[in-house]
């Protein structure tokens, strides 16, 4: 893609360069595969330029490097390639039987990677971001309604979420890098042009755009104003940005923490989200501790028997299912005796708390960490088999499954000196 000023002399220089290239190399421009695009050129000037060239006049926006290139502000329809691509990925994956964890990992690694390419170039309209969030939300939960608010899902794990990025905040964080590049006068033709055409020796921290100025620059100035409101004066902001930077430039993750809404610290997160605990266990415990598993007390809109299917005496809720029911209480007693737990467990939060406080040899410590999450997961799986498939809740069978999964994890870390427990 070649650029020039929108006047006849500049276009003639461009034509001369192409002719010199043709004479030197023997290669000619294919006029059937080329277009000329103009912005702000009308009347006789446009006619004179078109008479110099044998290229057809193209229309903007045009796809360039996968994104739309336009002379004016993009409207919502121009972002269709972004959510069409996300939707195409989702349509391929929904044919497979994916767990919640599998969907979560695909959103993190693939879908948010696709978004990132656009987010660092364009300030996405709220309508587009809301549509992207809806696509990801429906894909994750497999339905239009979600058991946990998307804003909470997008919190870091130590604040009670699962670590997805909030697209609004991530968009601002990535565009803040452009703001910092303009301030630091990065070695970029575009940055030099911004200083020459717009700023004209003014600081980006005090410059105010006009109504007719670039839509991107006006949005960057909005982000600048938001940053100044958070960090104070321009000097304070420059100081913080300098500490937020590394040899590759401004650190986007630190900027993201600046823009996003923070949640209260979750004391239990380090007992749930460990790299050696299978993610399916962690995700199930995360839902359970937020009381968002589909226990009968959370399905009041359905006309079903509300009593626990194992004991048949009490309302089935998370507290009863995992700890108060006589069947699961006996299961916990066996797990505690097996792993020598010294504290009682009556709630999920309490179980996770005592897991963190219990001291033991490394192998036994890992076994206890895995066992708590594994037991909650296995109880939930056994309950679903009982409700939907008619199987009896077998304490012996569930306990053996817990032992097998715990031994697998511990053996992977201690294959030689596996302690006897």
Same domain, 209 and 333: no
Give domain status of residue 93, yes or no.
no
What is the predicted pLDDT for the residue at 301?
A: 75
**Structural Rg of the chain based on CA atoms:** 30
When pLDDT is averaged across residues 231-253 and rounded to a whole number, the result is 91
Same domain, 397 and 286: yes
pLDDT in tens, 117-137: 999 999 999 999 999 999 999
Residue percentage of the chain with pLDDT more than 90: 62
Give long-range contacts, CB 8 A cutoff, 24+ apart: 293-298.
293/318, 293/380, 294/147, 295/321
Instruction: Please check whether residue 246 is in contact with residue 253, taking contact to mean a CB–CB distance below 8 angstroms.
Output: no
Which band of pLDDT confidence, cut at 50, 70 and 90, is reported for residue 171? very high
Give domain status of residue 65, yes or no.
no
Number of domains making up the chain:
3
Residues 6 or more apart whose CB falls under 8 angstroms from that of 343 comprise: 354, 357, 358
Give domain status of residue 313, yes or no.
yes
Same domain, 190 and 288: no
Give domain status of residue 153, yes or no.
no
Which band of pLDDT confidence, cut at 50, 70 and 90, is reported for residue 265? very high
Instruction: Please check whether residue 81 is in contact with residue 63, taking contact to mean a CB–CB distance below 8 angstroms.
Output: yes
Enclosing domain of residue 322: 269-413
Q: What angle separates helix 80-93 from helix 112-119, to the nearest 10 degrees?
A: 170
When pLDDT is averaged across residues 322-329 and rounded to a whole number, the result is 92
Residue 421 has pLDDT above 70, yes or no: no
What is the predicted pLDDT for the residue at 287?
A: 96
Which band of pLDDT confidence, cut at 50, 70 and 90, is reported for residue 407? very high
Give domain status of residue 343, yes or no.
yes
**Maximum CA pair distance of the chain?**
92
When pLDDT is averaged across residues 95-120 and rounded to a whole number, the result is 90
**Of 33, 59, 85, which residue sits at a domain end?**
59
What is the predicted pLDDT for the residue at 175?
A: 95
When pLDDT is averaged across residues 285-299 and rounded to a whole number, the result is 91
Residue percentage of the chain with pLDDT more than 70: 98
Instruction: List, in sequence order, every residue forming a beta bridge with 67; answer none if it has no partner.
Output: 64
What is the predicted pLDDT for the residue at 416?
A: 60
Residue 330 has pLDDT above 90, yes or no: yes
Same domain, 219 and 342: no
Residue 217 has pLDDT above 90, yes or no: yes
What is the predicted pLDDT for the residue at 341?
A: 85
What does the DSSP 8-state code read for residue 158?
G
Among 9-18, 79-88, 255-264, 352-361, the minimum mean pLDDT is found in 352-361
Greater confidence, 166 or 307?
166
Same domain, 359 and 284: yes
Q: How far apart are CA 102 and CA 279, in angstroms?
A: 9
Q: How far apart are CA 228 and CA 230, in angstroms?
A: 5
Same domain, 290 and 377: yes
Give domain status of residue 110, yes or no.
no
What is the predicted pLDDT for the residue at 412?
A: 86
Angle subtended at Cα 310 by Cα 297 and Cα 331, rounded to the nearest 5 degrees: 110
What is the predicted pLDDT for the residue at 419?
A: 52
When pLDDT is averaged across residues 85-100 and rounded to a whole number, the result is 88
Q: Where are the alpha helices (DSSP H) in 160-310?
A: 167-183, 189-194, 215-231, 234-243, 252-259, 269-272, 279-289
Predicted TM-score of the model (pTM): 0.87
Residue 199 has pLDDT above 90, yes or no: yes
Same domain, 236 and 327: no
Residue 82 has pLDDT above 80, yes or no: yes
Same domain, 311 and 402: yes
Which band of pLDDT confidence, cut at 50, 70 and 90, is reported for residue 418? low
Which band of pLDDT confidence, cut at 50, 70 and 90, is reported for residue 420? low
Average pLDDT value over all residues in the chain: 90
Q: Which tokens sit at 87? A: 């939707």
What is the predicted pLDDT for the residue at 141?
A: 93
Give domain status of residue 46, yes or no.
yes
Same domain, 303 and 363: yes
What is the predicted pLDDT for the residue at 258?
A: 94
Same domain, 338 and 384: yes
**Of 43, 59, 75, which residue sits at a domain end?**
59
Residue 95 has pLDDT above 80, yes or no: no
Same domain, 297 and 184: no
**Of 259, 290, 315, which residue sits at a domain end?**
259
Same domain, 215 and 295: no
Greater confidence, 173 or 47?
173
Give domain status of residue 371, yes or no.
yes
Residue 417 has pLDDT above 60, yes or no: no
Instruction: Please check whether residue 297 is in contact with residue 315, taking contact to mean a CB–CB distance below 8 angstroms.
Output: yes
Residue 358 has pLDDT above 80, yes or no: no
Burial class of residue 108 (count of CB atoms within 10 Å of its CB; 0-12, 13-18, 19+)? middle
Residues 6 or more apart whose CB falls under 8 angstroms from that of 129 comprise: 167, 168, 171
């Amino acid at each position: 893609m070649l650029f020039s000023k929108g006047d006849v002399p500049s276009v003639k220089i461009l034509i001369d360069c192409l002719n010199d290239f043709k004479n030197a190399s023997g290669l000619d421009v294919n006029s059937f595969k080329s277009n000329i695009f103009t912005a702000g050129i009308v009347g006789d000037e446009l006619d004179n330029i078109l008479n110099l060239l044998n290229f057809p006049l193209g229309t903007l926006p045009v796809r360039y490097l996968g994104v739309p290139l336009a002379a004016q502000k993009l409207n919502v329809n121009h972002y269709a390639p972004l959510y069409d691509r996300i939707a195409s990925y989702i349509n391929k994956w929904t044919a497979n039987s994916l767990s919640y964890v599998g969907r979560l990992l695909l959103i993190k690694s693939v879908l948010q990677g696709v978004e990132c390419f656009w987010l660092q170039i364009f300030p996405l309209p709220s309508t587009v971001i809301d549509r992207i969030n809806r696509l990801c939300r429906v894909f994750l939960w497999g339905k239009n309604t979600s058991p946990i608010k998307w804003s909470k899902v997008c919190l870091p794990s130590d604040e009670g979420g699962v670590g997805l990025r909030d697209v609004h905040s991530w968009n601002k964080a990535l565009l803040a890098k452009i703001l910092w590049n303009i301030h630091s006068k990065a070695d970029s033709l575009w940055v030099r042009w911004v200083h020459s055409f717009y700023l004209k020796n003014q600081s980006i921290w005090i410059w105010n755009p006009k109504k007719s100025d670039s839509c991107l620059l006006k949005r960057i100035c909005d982000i600048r104003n938001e940053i100044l409101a958070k960090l104070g004066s321009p000097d304070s902001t420059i100081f913080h940005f300098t500490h937020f930077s590394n040899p590759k430039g401004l650190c986007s993750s630190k900027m993201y923490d600046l823009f996003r809404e923070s949640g209260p610290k979750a004391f239990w997160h380090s007992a749930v989200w460990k790299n050696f605990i299978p993610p399916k266990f962690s995700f199930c415990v995360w839902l359970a501790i937020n009381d968002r598993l589909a226990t009968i007390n959370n399905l009041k809109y359905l006309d079903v028997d509300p009593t626990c299917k194992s004991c048949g005496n009490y309302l089935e809720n998370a507290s009863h299912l995992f700890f108060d029911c006589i069947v699961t209480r006996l299961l916990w007693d066996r797990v505690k005796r097996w792993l020598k737990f010294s504290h009682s467990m009556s709630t999920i939060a309490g179980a996770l708390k005592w897991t963190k406080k219990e001291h033991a040899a490394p192998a036994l410590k890992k076994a206890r960490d895995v066992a708590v999450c594994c037991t909650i997961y296995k109880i939930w799986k056994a309950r679903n088999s009982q409700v939907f498939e008619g199987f009896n809740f077998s304490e012996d069978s569930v306990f053996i499954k817990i032992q097998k999964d715990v031994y697998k994890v511990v053996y992977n870390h201690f294959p030689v000196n596996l302690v006897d427990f």
